[in-house]
Structure 1
Amino acid sequence: MKKIAIVSSSNFRCQFIYLLLEGESVTLFSNPKHVEEPFYDIIIYAPIHEENINVFPNHKLIVVQEGDMKPSFSGRHVPFEVTNPSNVKRKIWMHINQLHSERANTLTGGIVAIGSSTGGPLSLQTVLKPLPATFDVPIVIAQHMPADFTRVLARRLNQIVGIRVKEAHHLERLEAGTAYVAPGGKQMTIQVSGDKDAVIHINEPEGTDLYHPSINYLFESVALYEWKIVVLLTGMGSDGAGALAKLKQSSQTTIIAESQQTATIFGIPNAAIKTGLVDEVLPNNEIGEWLVGKGGKP
């Protein structure tokens, strides 16, 4: 049975939501500081006034509150409607079932995903060079590049950095210490195999796809990992920024953007920064060391 915490400084709101979850394993809290977050699968937080909504991790949080949420909030929101409890109940359960489904399909362990465009090859080289061959997790890369050029890029990187770098193949299983470059002109995503392994899927782009490979598609697919680090490097446009809200809604995610100081073109990192969801802004010569220092973990 799912363990659910209902948190609100308003006793009325706690009781209101509690009655909508009759039969579930529920604990009520009046103060967010009293909630031992790791013990609960789902936290339903009903703040009033201007209380901080960022006290709980997004990957298990449902916020019940009047009105629209701030644009920077990337989690699950249910409007608080006293006169329409059935609608509140329906939306809460929709999010609970979504969270449960996501958790059932989660891949254990972690991954690093990198997106880049103009100026990317040099920036990728700078980021990957400090990583040891024993790096603990796999790395997946979407570099805007035509077909065949990515094979040359992967071969070149493999010769000058410490970890293994290769162009990715369809249905290839991910291995730690290897960086997989999405083939130019294709779309690459990560999916869960029947035996719960991470498998690369390479597909033809849709006619409406602006980028192939797409950073957005790749980033959205790694949301199924237990934890992940995504890195947005130099490039024109905003590819990748559209996936960040979904990543923040999933389990542990750290988002890094290359700083204007080293980006050949600041478009992609800047678009990510403007979402308000980026955790670190670093020059490319510090990103690899940051990853090594963290052991590939957020």
Structure 2
Amino acid sequence: MNELRFEQVSVRFGGRRGMTAVDGVNLVVPQGQVVGLVGESGSGKSTLARAAAGLTPVSAGRILFNGEPLRHRRGEPKPLQMVFQDPHSSLDPRMSIGDSIAEAVPRSGRSTAAGRAAEVQRLLGLVGLDPQRAFSYPGQMSGGQLQRVALARALAARPQLIVADEITSALDVSVQGTVLNLVRELQREMRLSMLFISHNLAVVRYVADSIAVMYLGRIVEQGPSEQILGDPQHPYTKDLLAAVPNQNNPGLQPAAVEPALSAVTDAEPADPHHPPLGCRYHLRCPIGPLVLPGRDICKEADPSAEGRRHAAACHFSDELLLSGREGLL
């Protein structure tokens, strides 16, 4: 059972007067499934990923793998590997591609230089690269090729779960589809569990079995991908969907789809160092107190997700009107 579980996980920087980047997150990545984690820059997605990889300490809560606390001890096999956004910075420019991948291959009593070289050749072929690329250096390869190398390097460690953090955002649009196809094929073939992080719902919908939406350090909605995309229950999720070009009319703007959105388009995102009281999204919400009178509860009380569809943390999620949602699927 390769299940990753976050239980009330919080990550805080700077002591008491610092910033809480992740605040009480509950999230499960089931065995053999891809969970898409989406949200704007600064929402806490990458911090949560780094906490899972042991790169950022957890301030509260716990992270479990197969029901046991996830530990990252030097010299021990790691069940989780992370693929970063920028492959140029995650690969040593002074090491050949083959040496970078071989470095991640687990050492054992029977491990030999020839065996590791053969494994490097196999992994390069697995990610669709010429095995002769083992003798190349990062500076001789494109961004898309390097991201394939980063995937091969992660797979070299024989992980049970992959955390992919914005792995297509630094690539040209023409290359993104190729990398996404590769990710989906590898995940299905190897039955890997995966936490796939992106700010782009159009990317996440292509690979994810379920989706969790994050805003200012909290999960505000989560559920099966088809349900989240077809019937979002939180205004922020709907706002993210409105930003995706409509397939039937790519030129359609969100304000034309839903006039209420225009009332809050000028609102700045809340300061993550000082998040607002109540619902953290109320300053930008199209069905919140800035648009509709009599909804002061949004400014006063933190909404509970319990008992609501998709665990949507919104006081008025049941009243959210979804005009034109058919064009989003």
* TM-score normalised to structure 1 length: 0.29
* TM-score normalised to structure 2 length: 0.27
Q: Which structure is higher in helix share? A: 2
Q: Which structure is higher in strand share? A: 1
